[in-house]
Structure 1
Amino acid sequence: MAQPHDAPTAAELVAAVREFLERDVLGSLEGRTRFHGLVAVNVLGMVERELDLGAAQDQAHAARLAELGFADDAELAAAIREGWLDGRYEELKSALLDATRDKLAVANPSYRS
Structure 2
Amino acid sequence: MNAPHDVPSAAELVAAVRDFLETDVLPAVEGRVRYHTRVAINVLGMVEREIELGPAQAARHAESLAALGVADDAELAAAVREGRLADGETLMAVLEQAVRAKLEVANPGYLARE
TM-score after normalising by structure 2? 0.95
Unaligned runs of 5+ in 1: none
Q: Secondary structure at the match of 2:7?
A: coil
1:2 paired with 2:2, answer yes
Aligned-pair CA distance for 1:29: 1.1
Equivalent residue number for residue 26 of structure 1? 26
Q: Which runs of 4+ in 1 moved over 2 A?
A: none
Aligned-pair CA distance for 1:109: 0.5
Q: Give the alignment of 1:1-113 within 5 angstroms.
A: 1-85=1-85, 87-112=86-111, 113=114
Aligned-pair CA distance for 1:93: 0.5
TM-score after normalising by structure 1? 0.96
Q: Percent identity?
A: 63
Aligned-pair CA distance for 1:92: 0.6
CA shift digits 1:13-55 (9 cap, x unpaired): 0000000000000011111111110000000000000000011
Q: Secondary structure at the match of 1:19?
A: helix
Unaligned runs of 5+ in 2: none
1 CA distance for matches of 2:94 and 2:46? Answer: 22
1 CA distance for matches of 2:8 and 2:109? Answer: 28
1:4 maps to amino acid: P
Q: Secondary structure at the match of 1:60?
A: helix
Q: Secondary structure at the match of 1:50?
A: helix
1 CA distance for matches of 2:79 and 2:32? Answer: 44
Aligned pair count? 112
2:104 maps to amino acid: A
